[in-house]
Structure 1
């Protein structure tokens, strides 16, 4: 059994089409870390490294793999984003950020694991790196624009008008909290995003897939994990679970991912 996990954080400078910026990166390495491909975590639309909380350390311990998480540009402790998100931002993360990030971190083969829109980015990453991505895990990911998702975003947009609610974002994103919120709500609610889906990327994925989803997820029905895993993997529905399984069902989530990676 793994008894200890060490962690390290750093700022990694990148030169991107949207402009230069430093990404905040943190990794967790178990004391018996070997040659297994590390797990790369992609956070959700309001997320950051700190909001993964104890999940990365627990995952590293369970899988005996290095776990790496980073704040996307504009989020958490990374540098500000130079503008607004473009409609193709989910695929763009894999194509413009990941090649340099993986190189700077010395990562060859890896496992892609993402939550919510980060799950979409994990899918795009698995598609863009077909020989290097050895497994794909999505957690509460959206595969297309569903009315249930938009309804949940509209409710959240209204709720964040409450200063106390908005203060929670400020705690993690500082003076960029408004940008973070708008990047989520205005991107998803825009007409330009209405036809977005992961279908093209999913068609090219060849690695094993595990799609995890809460049966009470307010931002997406079970149609999303079904589409993600169809013909290429397994769906695991989490009972009495909403949109944030790594907070609501951390033990079950860690065990599900650990068991999946042991099998593959």
Structure 2
């Protein structure tokens, strides 16, 4: 069952309402696992129940005996849009999710520092980047991260896709169609004109110089086979720069299917979780 919580205003943004859902809660004393998905809105905003992160999140939560948490990012789903300082993006926006919105949500849900030290984050694609940014900013405030197809620097092809999507939003009725799922967040979206030059952070962002701040266990899983070459560079960057992550595990090939993915993540988390924290 979904619910909403309002995060108070800060010096960099207005107050925002966040849509969230607990998955297979095992009780308030159980460790928390946060699922950060690609894009902004989980099943709470209309995703099919068999899609990520809901089905995978529920399966992992049950297997681990943890409390699973998913949430819609402000500006997605039905919560109020994140209006203050929405650009440059994406990396500034993702950093805001990691260093402001997620900690604010944890505060609002009374997840105290002791529980955060036992908390895991499982992120896919953009969600994996947010998980990395959280691990960089709060190296002592989580137990570990599991990353699916993480991205640690800008990819030219993806930048072109983002700019093309922005142009489509500005020149077609896409905003009306998206309004079915994202409400006022679409209607009030304050995007720059499509013809304006992209912000430097859109095309030049890079986390490699920050990865040595990570201290927690990191599992980084390759993307599916047809994306291996692209994401292999990001995994190589993690190997080279996340040298203080203990342990850092990068399997040589992506899991064969969803069951294998669940098994890989569960085994890693169980292996890295002291018995005293279970």
Give me the TM-score of the superposition, normalised by structure 1.
0.77
Deviations along 1:223-243, one digit per CA (max 9) or x if unpaired, are 112323543311233268xxx
Higher strand share: 1
Structure 2 counterpart of 1:14: 7
CA shift at 1:94, angstroms? 2.4
Among residues 87, 91, 95, which one is paired with 1:85 in the alignment?
Answer: 87
Structure 1 counterpart of 2:35: 41
Does residue 64 in structure 1 map to residue 68 in structure 2? no
Among residues 216, 219, 226, which one is paired with 1:216 in the alignment?
Answer: 226
CA shift at 1:60, angstroms? 0.7
Contact kept in structure 1, 2:75 and 2:82, CA below 8 Å: yes
CA shift at 1:176, angstroms? 3.5
Structure 2 counterpart of 1:243: none
CA shift at 1:205, angstroms? 0.3
Structure 2 counterpart of 1:261: 269
CA shift at 1:150, angstroms? 2.6
Structure 2 counterpart of 1:53: 54
For structure 2, the 5+ residue unaligned runs are 48-52, 273-278
**Cα gap change, 1:115 to 1:186, in 2 (>3 Å):** farther
Question: Match of 1:222, SS?
Answer: helix
Among residues 229, 234, 238, which one is paired with 2:249 in the alignment?
Answer: 234
CA shift at 1:169, angstroms? 4.2
Contact kept in structure 2, 1:149 and 1:218, CA below 8 Å: no
CA shift at 1:95, angstroms? 2.2
Task: Write the distance in 2 (CA, Å) between the matches of 1:140 and 1:163.
Answer: 31
Task: Write the distance in 1 (CA, Å) between the matches of 2:235 and 2:145.
Answer: 12
**Cα gap change, 1:186 to 1:116, in 2 (>3 Å):** farther
| 1:131-210 correspondence runs (5 A) | 131-153=140-162, 169-177=178-186, 190-210=199-219
Contact kept in structure 2, 1:39 and 1:111, CA below 8 Å: yes
Root-mean-square deviation (CA, aligned residues, Å) is 3.5
Task: Write the distance in 1 (CA, Å) between the matches of 2:198 and 2:142.
Answer: 31
Task: Write the distance in 1 (CA, Å) between the matches of 2:125 and 2:179.
Answer: 20
Task: Write the distance in 2 (CA, Å) between the matches of 1:94 and 1:238.
Answer: 26
**Cα gap change, 1:186 to 1:203, in 2 (>3 Å):** farther
Does residue 25 in structure 1 map to residue 20 in structure 2? yes
Structure 2 counterpart of 1:121: 130
CA shift at 1:168, angstroms? 7.1
For structure 1, the 5+ residue unaligned runs are 1-7, 241-248
Task: Write the distance in 2 (CA, Å) between the matches of 1:199 and 1:252.
Answer: 29
Question: Match of 1:47, SS?
Answer: coil
